[in-house]
């Protein structure tokens, strides 16, 4: 299976998970060529008896995100604090919201530069990132911690190609 076919299959699964009216609206917005590729796959899902309205399972990359969270959880506050201090406050808050990090409570909140380490109540009140955004942020942050380089530059390089990240960070 080539990459285009895999994308079309994922699109068919996502469409199949929608309510009937929503699916019809999305199909009407597709170009004829796209609709012709997706409709046979939707028919196949119906023939197989897969009930509509059920969300597709998370992609295999979700396991990669979980592994990254596990590796970051194993770090100490001394290892993560320098990389966190190099980040914008909004990025720190987003990262702290991704997971209940074991080192989060040990972050210095009263020291100079502590404004970068938001209070737990502020973190809890902030919205969670979408799974793929959280995964990309964790992977970039891990690279910054492991590389020992300026965390902001490493994360910016890692996330620069994601338009959604640039919009979210405005």
Question: Along the 170 residues of the chain, how does pLDDT read in single tens digits?
Answer: 677 788 888 888 888 888 888 888 888 888 898 899 999 988 888 888 877 776 655 554 445 578 888 999 999 888 888 888 888 878 888 888 888 899 988 887 655 555 557 767 677 777 887 888 888 888 888 888 887 654 445 455 555 455 544 555 55
Give the whole-angstrom CA distance, residue 67 versus residue 140. 13
Nearest of 63, 53, 48, 64 to residue 19 by alpha carbon: 53
Query: Which of helix, strand or coil describes residue 161?
Result: coil
Return the half-sphere exposure (C-beta side, CA atoms, 13 A cut-off) of residue 160.
7
Asked whether the whole model's pTM tops 0.75, one would answer no
Q: How many CB atoms lie within 10 A of CB 99?
A: 17
Distance CA 167, CA 116 (A): 21
* Cβ-based burial of 123 (10 A; exposed 0-12, middle 13-18, buried ≥19): middle
Is the distance from CB of 90 to CB of 61 less than 8 angstroms?
A: no
- With b for 16 or more beta-carbon neighbours within 10 A and e for fewer, the 23-54 pattern comes to beeeeeeeeeeeeebbeebbeebeeeeeeeee
């Amino acid at each position: 299976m080539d990459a285009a076919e895999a994308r079309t299959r994922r699109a068919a699964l996502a469409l199949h998970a929608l309510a009937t009216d929503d699916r019809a609206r999305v199909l009407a917005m597709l170009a004829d060529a796209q609709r012709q590729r997706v409709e046979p796959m939707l028919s196949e899902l119906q023939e197989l008896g897969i009930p509509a309205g059920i969300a597709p399972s998370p992609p295999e990359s979700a396991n990669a995100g979980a592994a990254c969270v596990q590796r970051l959880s194993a770090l100490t506050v001394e290892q993560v604090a320098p990389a966190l201090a190099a980040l914008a406050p909004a990025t720190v808050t987003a990262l702290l919201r991704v997971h209940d990090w074991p080192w989060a409570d040990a972050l210095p909140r009263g020291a100079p530069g502590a404004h970068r380490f938001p209070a737990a109540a502020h973190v809890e009140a902030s919205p969670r990132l979408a799974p793929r955004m959280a995964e990309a942020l964790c992977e970039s942050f891990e690279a910054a911690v492991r590389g020992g380089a300026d965390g902001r530059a490493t994360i910016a390089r890692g996330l620069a190609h994601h338009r959604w990240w640039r919009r979210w960070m405005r």
